[in-house]
Amino acid sequence: MPTATEAPRIYPALRYRNAAKMIDWLCEAFGFELRARHGEGDMVHHAELTFGSSMIMLGSARDDDYGKMVGDPSGGGGKSIYIAVDDADAAYARAKKAGARIVQELVDRDHGSREFICLDPEGNVWSFGTYWPKAAEKA
């Protein structure tokens, strides 16, 4: 059985039409750091971007078996990632400066989180907030 103190076991994986460009954009807009990138030129077979102790994986949209399972990046619906941050205002300013489309302005929630929601250039939904649940702590 996994423990709450081990490294994360869940890694969101995204496909982008222009993954090479999105790697740079995600690092600039959201503060990710490139950990690994495999592929040549504009083709990204697999990339890993870190955010603190968390990580996402991404790659270029492809018409292979996995690509057919995942679906086309423009399919819409059901794609959203939440990122816990220490300073939502700073994250908002950074995302907005990089051209993220803000779909919900900064707001203070009843449960104590300060957060906003934006879209990346390919339409994925990203939520940033100060609510930071931790697996090792009781809800």
- For 51, the 3-state DSSP assignment is strand
Residues 88-110 have a mean pLDDT of: 96
Rounded to whole angstroms, how far apart are CA atoms 66 and 38?
Answer: 17
Residues 19-30 have a mean pLDDT of: 97
15 neighbors 57 (Cβ within 8 angstroms): no
- pLDDT digit string (tens) for 42-97? 999 999 999 998 999 999 998 888 777 777 777 665 678 999 999 999 999 999 99
For residue 25, what pLDDT band results from cuts at 50, 70 and 90? very high
* Closest by Cα among 89, 79, 60 to 125: 79
Rounded to whole angstroms, how far apart are CA atoms 117 and 104?
Answer: 5
For residue 4, what pLDDT band results from cuts at 50, 70 and 90? low
Residues 101-111 have a mean pLDDT of: 95
Task: Output helix, strand, coil percentages for the chain, rounded to the nearest 5.
Answer: 20, 35, 45
For residue 126, what pLDDT band results from cuts at 50, 70 and 90? very high
What residues are paired with 54 via a beta bridge?
51
Q: Angle at CA 114, nearest 5°, toward 110 and 115?
A: 110
Residues 1-23 have a mean pLDDT of: 82
Structure confidence at residue 26 (pLDDT)? 97
Structure confidence at residue 67 (pLDDT)? 76
Q: What is the model's pTM?
A: 0.86
Query: E strands of the chain, at which residues?
Result: 13-16, 33-38, 46-51, 54-60, 80-84, 101-108, 114-119, 125-129
Structure confidence at residue 53 (pLDDT)? 87
Q: Angle at CA 124, nearest 5°, toward 120 and 130?
A: 80
Structure confidence at residue 1 (pLDDT)? 45
Identity of residue 130: T
16 neighbors 10 (Cβ within 8 angstroms): no
